[in-house]
């Protein structure tokens, strides 16, 4: 990957790579964002299942909410755009916890944080880099994995992203959803989400949401709803066809060589040795 290719679509802010679709001006002004007490933030590292959770929330009957585009997507007009929404706002972001606007933290807005096994996340992000014109071109899996392990990818290090949430994992305004657990029992995860948001939903409605947000249904709908600018949940593309690839657990095994797995596991152990969240990820995998 040429550095010229990288610099045309990515830029660094506070040492972390961001897409050119997130203007430096906007990133610099995040702390001037006015949060509302009932705001909900969907926070995750890229390719961890944000769209999936967003679809679940959008399918909750009588929720009276508006799903917005990501807080870090666009320019300074973003805050004016967010002010226009009258209903309860659900705002997606790939910003790590310690980069969130201070008002979100001060007002203790609800945060749903989604975590996915980092090996699967890396594979998914590799394909995203290859298919998304808003990200740098990448030649090989080996080259990408090296960047991923260094945190030299969009939104920085997976390890740092998860660790930034670690000390807040038990805060009452935070709900942590593990992608793998959601795959195992989507109804249970939907129940957790609706309870957290304070919305009463019957078992029948939960089953209906589970069906509507199955991977195959979402993939079909992605084609129908594609390029609807009002339905941009990812700060890296509005093309929904790029978002849903396989949605499986454990696909990493088809990519990692035994040496790559060893290097990855050593770094994981070193970086995440005090992390309960990381232990949970290992249990889920």
The pLDDT tens digits for 130-159 are: 888 888 989 899 999 999 999 999 999 999
Identify the DSSP state of 253.
Answer: G
Please name the residue ranges forming H helices in 84-214: 102-106, 118-131, 141-150, 158-166, 179-184, 186-197, 203-212
pLDDT for position 235: 59
Identify the DSSP state of 100.
Answer: S
Confirm if 82 and 59 have CB atoms less than 8 A apart: no
How far apart, in Å, do the first and last CA atoms of the chain sit?
Answer: 31
Burial 57-80 (b: 16+ CB within 10 A, else e): bbbbeebebbbbbbbbbbeeebbe
* pLDDT exceeds cutoff 80 at 36: yes
pLDDT for position 240: 54
Integer Cα distance of 179 and 115 in angstroms? 6
Half-sphere exposure of 37 (CA within 13 A, CB side): 0
pLDDT for position 106: 97
pLDDT for position 4: 43
pLDDT for position 285: 61
The pLDDT tens digits for 227-264 are: 555 566 665 665 655 555 556 788 899 999 999 999 99
pLDDT for position 199: 95
Collapsing DSSP to helix, strand or coil, 225 comes out as: coil
The pLDDT tens digits for 180-234 are: 999 999 999 999 999 999 999 999 999 999 998 886 666 666 555 555 555 666 6
The pLDDT tens digits for 107-134 are: 999 999 999 999 999 999 999 898 888 8
Give the residue-averaged pLDDT of 76-102: 96
3-284 has which fold? Rossmann fold (3.40.50)
Give the residue-averaged pLDDT of 1-30: 85
Identify the DSSP state of 22.
Answer: B
Q: How many CB atoms lie within 10 A of CB 249?
A: 16
Looking at the chain, the whole-number percentage of residues with pLDDT higher than 70 is 85
Which is more confidently placed, 70 or 224?
A: 70
Looking at the chain, the whole-number percentage of residues with pLDDT higher than 90 is 74
Secondary element (H or E) of residue 27: helix 24-28
Which residues are designated catalytic?
94
Integer Cα distance of 13 and 15 in angstroms? 5
Domain limits, the chain: 3-284
110 DSSP β-pair partners: 40
Across all residues in the chain, what is the average pLDDT? 89
Q: How confident is the model at residue 73 (pLDDT cuts 50, 70, 90)?
A: very high
Beta strands in the chain (DSSP E): 10-13, 16-19, 40-44, 65-67, 88-93, 110-115, 174-178
Integer Cα distance of 123 and 233 in angstroms? 20
Q: In whole angstroms, what separates CA 75 from the centre of its chain?
A: 20
Collapsing DSSP to helix, strand or coil, 208 comes out as: helix
Integer Cα distance of 145 and 143 in angstroms? 6
Q: How confident is the model at residue 8 (pLDDT cuts 50, 70, 90)?
A: confident
Q: How confident is the model at residue 165 (pLDDT cuts 50, 70, 90)?
A: very high
Sheet harboring 40-44: ordered strands across? 65-67, 88-93, 40-44, 110-115, 174-178
């Amino acid at each position: 990957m040429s550095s010229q290719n990288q610099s045309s679509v990515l830029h660094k802010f506070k040492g972390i790579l961001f897409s050119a679709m997130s203007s430096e001006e906007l990133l610099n002004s995040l702390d001037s964002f006015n949060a509302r007490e009932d705001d909900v933030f969907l926070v995750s590292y890229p390719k961890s299942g944000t769209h999936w959770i967003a679809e679940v929330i959008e399918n909750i009957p009588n929720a009276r909410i508006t799903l917005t585009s990501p807080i870090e997507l666009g320019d300074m007009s973003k805050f004016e755009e967010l002010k226009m929404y009258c209903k309860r706002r659900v705002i997606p972001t790939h910003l790590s916890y310690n980069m969130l606007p201070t008002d979100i933290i001060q007002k203790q807005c609800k945060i749903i944080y989604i975590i996915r096994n980092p090996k699967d996340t890396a594979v998914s992000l590799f394909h995203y880099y290859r298919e998304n014109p808003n990200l740098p071109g990448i030649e090989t899996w080996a080259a990408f994995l090296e960047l991923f392990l260094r945190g030299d990818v969009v939104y920085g290090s997976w390890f740092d992203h998860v660790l930034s949430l670690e000390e807040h994992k038990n805060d009452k305004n935070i709900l942590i959803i593990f992608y793998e657990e959601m795959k195992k029992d989507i109804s249970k995860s939907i129940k957790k989400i609706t309870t957290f948001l304070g919305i009463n939903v019957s078992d029948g409605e939960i089953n209906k949401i589970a069906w509507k947000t199955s991977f195959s249904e979402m993939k079909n709908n992605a084609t129908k709803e594609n390029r609807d600018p009002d339905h941009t949940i990812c700060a890296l593309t509005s093309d929904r066809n790029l978002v849903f690839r396989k949605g499986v657990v454990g696909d990493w095994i088809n990519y990692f060589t035994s040496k790559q797995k060893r290097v990855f596991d050593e770094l994981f152990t070193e970086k995440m040795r005090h992390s309960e969240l990381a232990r949970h990820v290992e249990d889920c995998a």
